[in-house]
Amino acid sequence: MKIAIASGKGGTGKTTIATNLAVSLARAGRRVQYLDCDVEEPNGHIFLKPDIERVEEATVGVPQVDQSKCTGCGRCGQLCQYSAIICIQKHVLTFEPLCHSCGGCMAVCPASALTEKPRRIGVAEYGAVNGVAFGHGRLDIGAIQTPALIRHVKRGIREDAVVILDAPPGTSCPVIEALKGTDFVLLVTEPTPFGLNDLELAVGMVKTLKLPFAVVINRCDMGDDGVAQYCRREGIDIAMEIPNDRKIAEAYSRGQMMVDIQPEYAAKFCQLCEHTSGRMATR
């Protein structure tokens, strides 16, 4: 079972919920993997503190030119939709940061002057801690290929485990890449106007991806009832509500896990997983 934790709005508690859910399940004897797909700003490792056992360099393919073979036909530049390759008077220039690795220029070159070479975008790291298998990605600063690195990280998915995927914030390409192929999405929100606005966008996104989902309202007593009313109106399942707690916030600031500060949450997170399984079983 692959459960993705997403949100729309940043800072609602995705990593808090994802890490605590993973640890709670592991302590209950389940085989669990936590995969941090927020490759731009991964935070899961701060709380889980895994031993890293394997580091993989992540690359994307970009064109490499053999100028001696170039006939100057210009078809590479004509095909490219991203201005990543142009041909000026038999001289081919590439702009690797813009390349989307579609392979088009190489395929269309009549002179076999273009081959593919790898360009590093970041790393994927895998390890484990206290019964939780761990994986995350770390995008190189200045790189833009977030979805490609997320794809790479997800290649390490353990099919024999409950996989908790910690998604990045937002509603576009990176999150979609993280959510692809998962079985259920938990949308974490906060009960504020910003939280509600972004939740609506996130709901639109998961519906487009045709994924079953439920909402977790974090810090549920710190704002207004707009989110609760919206969920009721739309018939959206509120799977868990977590009250605001300064002690948990302070512990979070120190990299401590919620289930270590308030152990009764471990059972609640296990219940969340049961609830999710239950929802999936009734589909």
Partner 1 sequence: MKELVVISGKGGTGKTSMAAAFAALARPAVLADCDVDAADLHLVLDPQVRQTSDFSGGKRATIDPSKCIGCGRCAGMCRFEAVRLDGPANDVIGKTYAIDPVACEGCGVCVEFCPVKAIELDEVVNGHWFLSDTRFGPMVHAQLGIAQANSGKLVTLIRRQAREMAEERKLDLIVVDGSPGIGCPVIASITGADLVLIVTEPTLSGRHDLGRVADLAANFGIRTLLCINKADINPQMTAQIGEEARKRGITVVGEIPYDDAFTKAQILKATVVEYTGGAITERVKALWRQITYALG
Question: Which two structure tokens, joined as six digits, stand for 78?
Answer: 């004509």
Nearer Cβ to partner 1, position 149 or 214? Answer: 149
Q: Rounded to the nearest whole angstrom, what is the least distance from the CB of residue 93 to partner 1 in the complex?
A: 19
Nearer Cβ to partner 1, position 99 or 273? Answer: 99
b/e string for 251-262 if b means 16 or more Cβ within 10 A?
bbeeeebbbeeb
| Cα angle 138, 198, 264; round to 5 | 70
**166 with 35: CB under 8 angstroms?**
yes
Return the number of other C-beta atoms located less than 10 Å from residue 16's C-beta. 23
C-alpha 106/C-alpha 27 separation (Å) is 51
C-alpha 264/C-alpha 142 separation (Å) is 42
The pairing of beta strand 114-129 with beta strand 213-218: unpaired
| Cα angle 268, 135, 103; round to 5 | 130
- Interface residues with partner 1 (CB under 8 A) are 8-12, 15, 38, 40-41, 43, 46, 79, 81-82, 100-104, 107-108, 139, 141-144, 146, 168-174, 176, 192-194, 197-198, 201, 204-205, 208-209, 222-224, 246, 249-250, 252-255
**First and final CA of the chain: distance in angstroms?**
14
Nearer Cβ to partner 1, position 161 or 195? Answer: 195
Nearer Cβ to partner 1, position 255 or 278? Answer: 255
Nearer Cβ to partner 1, position 2 or 138? Answer: 138
Q: Rounded to the nearest whole angstrom, what is the least distance from the CB of residue 197 to partner 1 in the complex?
A: 6
C-alpha 77/C-alpha 70 separation (Å) is 12
Q: Rounded to the nearest whole angstrom, what is the least distance from the CB of residue 213 to partner 1 in the complex?
A: 14
Q: Rounded to the nearest whole angstrom, what is the least distance from the CB of residue 13 to partner 1 in the complex?
A: 8
Nearer Cβ to partner 1, position 161 or 205? Answer: 205
Q: Rounded to the nearest whole angstrom, what is the least distance from the CB of residue 14 to partner 1 in the complex?
A: 9
Q: Rounded to the nearest whole angstrom, what is the least distance from the CB of residue 38 to partner 1 in the complex?
A: 8
C-alpha 12/C-alpha 273 separation (Å) is 19
